[in-house]
Amino acid sequence: MSELSPINGHPKMASAISDRAFSRIAAIAAREAGIVLAASKVSMVKSRLTRRLRALKMSSFDDYLDFLEASGDRTEMNNFISALTTNVSHFFRENHHFEYLAGTILPHLKQKLANGGKVRIWSAGCSNGQEPYSIAMTLLKAAPDLAQKDLKILATDIDPEVLARAKSGQYFGSLTTGLTDQTIASFFTKSHQDGEDTLTVTPNVRNMVSFRQLNLHADWPMKGKFDAIFCRNVVIYFDEETQIRLYKRYANILEPGGWLMLGHSERLNESVTQLFESAGVTTYKTKQTISSPAPIGAHESKGPV
C-alpha cells in the first residue's frame, strides 16, 4: 500500500468517516478485491472516496456505503475499488523486464510463430497503457515484422478512466516519463492539443494491443493460454490469500513454461513455488498447469472482455 496517494486535486471534504464506516469500507474492499486497508489509511480513504461521493452527489459515507451494498451497481463497485488503488505507471518501468522480453523471451516467441503458433501476452493491471505499449514497442524494435504476425497483447484494468487514456494512445506531461527521443521518433507522432505537447502512439503499436475492463478477482472470460503475463505493482494491494489465489489462476492460464513478471516489491508466495520457478529478478516461469480455483467475489466485471 506504499504507493497510495491522492490522484489529483483536493476534493471538497465530505463528512467524517466513522469507525463503523471505515470498517464497512475495509470489509467491502477485502471481499470484492482482496484489498488490505489498514486503519492508518483512513485519511487516504476519505480523500479518495470523497470524489465518489461528490460524483454521486452524496454527503455522507454511510449513504454511499448503503448505496454501494444495496444497489449491486458493478460500475460503482469498480469505481470504489479503483479509488482505493493507485494508477502510477510509466513507460519502460522496471526496464529489466523489457530487456528480458527482448533478449530471452522473444526468441521463444519467434520460434512459436515460425511453427505456426500464436503468441498472447497479458498486461494485467495496465493502468494508462504505458506497460502494454512498452511491451509492443520492445517487440517491434527487436523484430518489426511481428506487427504482421499472430501476436496480440491483452491489456486489462479495473478502472475505466485509465483505460480511456490507454485506448486514446495520447500522452503528455508526466505521462510520457520513461520515453527516450529515439523511442518517441520511432513510435509516436507529436502534436499540440488543448495547450499540451502531446505524443500519440503510432497505429502499428496500437494495433497490437486490445484494452478491456476486468476485475482480476472476478471471472476471466479469456479462453486461450498466455505466453507471458505482466502483473506488476498490482498485487501489492492484496492480502496474501488473494495473492496466492491469483498466482494459481495465472499458473493455470499460462502456457507451460510461460512467464510471469511481478513488480519490484512483489514476490511469489512460498505456497506456489511448486507451480513456478524463478527465472530472473521478479520473473518466473510456470512448471505445470493446475485446475482453476473459483474467483473470490465471483462477480463478473462490467464491460466486454
Ligand X SMILES: C[S@@+](CC[C@H](N)C(=O)[O-])C[C@H]1O[C@@H](n2cnc3c(N)ncnc32)[C@H](O)[C@@H]1O
b/e map of 42-54 (b: 16 or more CB within 10 Å)?
bebbbbbbbbbbe
209 touches ligand X (CB under 6 A): no
For 134, the 3-state DSSP assignment is helix
- Which stretch in 6-14, 23-31, 125-133, 266-274 sits in contact with ligand X by CB under 6 A? 125-133
206 touches ligand X (CB under 6 A): no
Residue closer to ligand X (CB basis): 139 or 162:
162
Residue in 4, 21, 25, 33 binding ligand X, rule: CB under 6 A = 33
Got the DSSP string for 165-210? HHHHTEEEGGGGTT--HHHHHHHEEEEEETTEEEEEE-HHHHTTEE
Please, what sign has the CA dihedral across residues 215, 220, 222, 228?
Answer: positive
249 touches ligand X (CB under 6 A): no
Residue closer to ligand X (CB basis): 24 or 232:
232
CB 146 within 8 A of CB 139: yes
Residue closer to ligand X (CB basis): 81 or 119:
81
Residue closer to ligand X (CB basis): 158 or 275:
158
Residue closer to ligand X (CB basis): 139 or 163:
163
Minimum distance from residue 237 beta carbon to ligand X (Å): 6
Number of neighbouring beta carbons within 10 Å of residue 227: 20
Minimum distance from residue 93 beta carbon to ligand X (Å): 5
Strand order in the sheet with 196-201: 170-172, 196-201, 188-193
Minimum distance from residue 218 beta carbon to ligand X (Å): 8
125 touches ligand X (CB under 6 A): yes
- Which stretch in 16-24, 64-72, 209-217, 283-291 sits in contact with ligand X by CB under 6 A? 209-217
Give residue 203's region: left, alpha or beta (phi > 0; psi -120 to 50): alpha
Residue closer to ligand X (CB basis): 159 or 255:
159
List, in sequence order, every beta strand (DSSP E) within the chain. Answer: 119-124, 151-157, 170-172, 188-193, 196-201, 209-213, 226-231, 254-262, 276-280, 283-286
131 touches ligand X (CB under 6 A): yes
The identity of residue 18, as a single letter, is S
What one-character DSSP code corresponds to residue 104? I
Q: Residue 113: is it exposed, middle or buried by C-beta count within 10 angstroms (0-12/13-18/19+)?
A: middle
Which grid cell sits at 115?
A: 511453427
Active-site position among 24, 93, 157, 232 = 157
- Which stretch in 5-13, 42-50, 141-149, 210-218 sits in contact with ligand X by CB under 6 A? 210-218
Which of the residues 65 through 124 are near ligand X (CB under 6 A)? 81-82, 85-89, 93
Phi, psi of 107 (to 5 degrees): -55, -40
Residue in 49, 159, 183, 268 binding ligand X, rule: CB under 6 A = 159
Q: Is 93 a catalytic residue?
A: no
Q: Is 249 a catalytic residue?
A: no
Number of neighbouring beta carbons within 10 Å of residue 207: 12
162 touches ligand X (CB under 6 A): yes
Site size toward ligand X (CB under 6 A) is: 25
Q: Which residues are catalytic?
A: 48, 157
Binding interface with ligand X (CB under 6 A): 33, 81-82, 85-89, 93, 125, 127, 131, 157-159, 162, 214-217, 232-234, 237, 263
